[in-house]
């Protein structure tokens, strides 16, 4: 066998929990280390080690990501009450994804992996739709109240000098009611916009953005204006050079156009729209196990992962010594995404080329009818064969070996 591919700069590797931790090691052993001289800075984000380090390891891994520019992350447990005794936790540690996102000030982009035999519920969606969700503010950081009949509700803003500005929300005449206060910041909206413009340039795909600015003439309009300003000043010429478009429309018009489209673009969504639309789009493409995710910071730092969780139910089966048929595709694509980006940044085309071949071999395996149970349940391919977790990776490697010759 020829020499292994070298890596110049380390890749930040964030290990995780349960079944995805098992898959993580298998992917490295079967598909990566035979071909690549893996140069990673390893952080164990498994819950045991997070608890041992009082979650310091999560913060350290995010700082390392800032330093090196690219990370790949395994799915991790976000502790709830049931995990406290299971892992004998000192505290109910916060979601690592939340912690990392806050440190990198990043935006999450989710893209479905499309294979022949698994038809989206919208059959004209022949190309992926990537959803970018603004993950700060609006209804997720709201203040709300129930209001009694006869009350007057106002917005009050007190500026630095103590001067008050008031606006009437509603006079509750003859009925009780409800009110809600929302906010966002120019800083967060600008970061979101930059992450979206950068990622569109990266993928060479059009960027769509939509709000309800005709109704919300100050709040939503501010989103529209910030996007437009940043586009005009910093990205317009780059978009023109790349032959891609920035397209703004109203949210209801966007929804209608998305349904009629063939896919192949990035759809930037406000927080609530992104929450709702990402679940709709993911479901329409078929399976959460076929959804990749990348966190992109406004200054161009990338963290790749699968969109699904740790697949706990399969892990308990695995612990009992039973074979599982867990789909590793999204985790493989997290690795290929990170290795490709590392190769691009380091100008090592061998590494980027390996990433392409790894993805190709994975898709080829499924399209030739070899797949895990979750996909077999959806695929219309004839003579399909359901395989266990490890056999699936071995089958991918058979094809990868040929592509690497």
Mapped onto helix, strand or coil, the DSSP state of residue 260 is helix
- State the minimum distance, in angstroms, from the CB of residue 334 to ligand NAP: 10
Nearest to 30 by CA among 318, 305, 332: 332
Q: Which is nearer to ligand NAP, 28 or 212 (by Cβ)? A: 28
Decide if residue 312 touches ligand NAP (CB under 6 A).
Answer: yes
Q: Give the residue closest to Mg ion by C-beta.
A: 275
How many residues in total does the chain contain? 405
Residue 99 binding ligand NAP, by CB under 6 A:
no
Q: How far apart are CA 278 and CA 269, in angstroms?
A: 9
Minimal distance, residue 75 CB to ligand NAP, in Å: 4
Q: In 58-79, which positions are buried (b, 16+ CB within 10 angstroms) versus exposed (e)?
A: bbebbebbeebbbbbbbbbbbb
Q: Tokens 């061998």 map to which residue?
A: 350
Residue 242: other Cβ atoms inside 10 A: 15
* Contact partner, 279, from ligand NAP, Mg ion, none, Cβ < 5-8 Å per class: Mg ion
Q: Can you tell me which of 202, 275, 299, 350 binds Mg ion, judged by CB under 5 A?
A: 275
Which of 11, 75, 100, 115: binder of ligand NAP (CB under 6 A)? 75
Give the nearer residue to Mg ion in terms of CB position, either 202 or 275. Answer: 275
Which string of x and - marks every residue 356-375 that binds ligand NAP (by CB under 6 A)?
------------------x-
CB 12 within 8 A of CB 41: yes
Nearer residue to ligand NAP within complex by CB, 224 or 314 = 314
> What single-letter DSSP state applies at residue 139?
G
For ligand NAP, the closer of residues 78 and 151 by Cβ is: 78
Q: Judged by CB, which is closer to ligand NAP: 99, or 184?
A: 99
Minimal distance, residue 94 CB to ligand NAP, in Å: 11
Q: By CB neighbour count within 10 A (0-12 exposed, 13-18 middle, 19+ buried), where does 377 fall?
A: exposed
The one of Mg ion, ligand NAP, none whose footprint includes residue 309, by CB under 5 to 8 A per kind, is ligand NAP
CA distance 333 to 292: 7
Nearer to Mg ion, 48 or 280 (CB): 280
Q: Which residue is nearest to ligand NAP (CB)?
A: 309
Q: Which is nearer to Mg ion, 50 or 308 (CB)?
A: 308
288 lines the binding site for ligand NAP (CB under 6 A)? yes
The Cα–Cα gap between 60 and 73 comes to: 14
Nearest to 248 by CA among 220, 215, 277, 287: 220
Query: Measured from the CB of residue 90, what is the shortest distance to ligand NAP in angstroms?
Result: 17
- Binding residues for ligand NAP, how many (CB under 6 A)? 17
Which segments of 80-218 does DSSP mark as H helices, in order?
Answer: 83-86, 96-104, 186-203
The answer to whether 311 contacts ligand NAP (rule: CB under 6 A) is yes
Determine which helix (DSSP H) or strand (DSSP E) holds 55, and give its type and residue range: none
| Helices 329-346 & 349-367 angle (0-180, nearest 10) | 160
The window from 74-82, 234-242, 343-351, 363-371 that contacts ligand NAP (CB under 6 A) reads: 74-82
Q: Which is nearer to ligand NAP, 126 or 140 (CB)?
A: 140
Tell me, what DSSP letter sits at residue 127? S
User: Which string of DSSP letters, residue by residue, matches 325-364?
Assistant: ----HHHHHHHHHHHHHHHHHHT-HHHHHHHHHHHHHHHH
- The answer to the question of residue 391 lying near ligand NAP (CB under 6 A) is no
Contacting residue, 279, 280, 322, 323, with Mg ion by CB under 5 A? 279
Euclidean distance between CA atoms 189 and 29, whole angstroms: 41
Beta carbon of residue 318, minimum distance to ligand NAP (angstroms, whole number): 12
By beta-carbon proximity to ligand NAP, the closer residue of 78 and 249 is 78
77 scored as a contact of ligand NAP (CB under 6 A): yes
Q: How many CB atoms lie within 10 A of CB 101?
A: 19
How many whole angstroms separate alpha carbon 325 and alpha carbon 113? 18
273 binds, among Mg ion, ligand NAP, none (CB under 5 to 8 A by kind): none
Q: Which of residues 19 and 108 has its CB atom nearest to Mg ion in the complex? A: 108
Q: Give the interface with Mg ion as residue ranges (CB under 5 A).
A: 275, 279
Q: Give the interface with ligand NAP as residue ranges (CB under 6 A).
A: 75-78, 97, 288-289, 305, 308-313, 326-327, 374
């Amino acid at each position: 066998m020829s020499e292994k591919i070298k890596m110049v700069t380390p890749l930040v590797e964030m290990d995780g929990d349960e079944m995805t931790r098992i898959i993580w090691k298998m992917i490295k052993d079967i598909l990566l280390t035979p071909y690549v001289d893996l140069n990673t800075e390893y952080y164990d984000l498994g819950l045991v080690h997070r608890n041992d380090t009082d979650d310091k390891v999560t913060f350290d891994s995010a700082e390392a990501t800032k330093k090196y520019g690219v990370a790949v992350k395994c799915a991790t447990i976000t502790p709830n009450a049931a995990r406290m005794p299971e892992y004998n936790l000192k505290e109910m540690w916060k979601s690592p994804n939340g912690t990392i996102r806050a440190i990198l000030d990043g935006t999450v982009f989710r893209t479905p992996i499309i294979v022949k035999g698994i038809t989206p519920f919208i059959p004209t969606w022949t190309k992926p739709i990537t959803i970018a969700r603004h993950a700060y503010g609006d209804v997720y950081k709201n203040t709300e109240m129930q209001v009694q009949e006869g009350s007057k509700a106002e917005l009050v803003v007190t500026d630095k000098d103590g001067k008050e500005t008031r606006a009437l929300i509603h006079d509750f005449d003859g009925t009780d009611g409800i009110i809600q206060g929302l906010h966002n910041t120019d800083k967060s909206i600008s970061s979101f916009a930059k992450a979206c413009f950068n990622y569109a340039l990266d993928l060479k795909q059009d960027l769509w953005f939509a709000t309800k600015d005709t109704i919300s003439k100050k709040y939503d309009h501010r989103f529209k204006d910030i996007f437009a300003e940043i586009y005009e000043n910093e990205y317009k010429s780059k978009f023109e050079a790349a032959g891609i478009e920035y397209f703004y429309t109203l949210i209801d018009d966007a929804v209608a156009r998305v349904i009629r489209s063939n896919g192949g673009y990035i759809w930037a969504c406000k927080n609530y729209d992104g929450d709702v639309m990402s679940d709709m789009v993911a479901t329409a493409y078929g399976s959460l196990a076929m959804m990749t995710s990348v966190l992109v910071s406004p200054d161009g730092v990338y963290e790749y992962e699968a969109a699904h969780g740790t697949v706990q139910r399969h892990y308990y089966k695995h612990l009992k010594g039973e074979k599982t048929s867990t789909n590793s595709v999204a985790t493989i694509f997290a690795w290929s995404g990170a290795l490709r980006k590392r190769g691009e940044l380091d100008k090592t085309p061998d590494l980027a080329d390996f990433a392409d071949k790894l993805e190709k071999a994975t898709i080829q395996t499924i399209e030739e009818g070899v797949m895990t149970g979750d996909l077999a349940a959806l695929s219309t391919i004839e003579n399909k064969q359901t395989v266990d977790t490890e056999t699936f990776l071995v089958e991918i490697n058979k094809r990868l070996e040929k592509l690497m010759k």
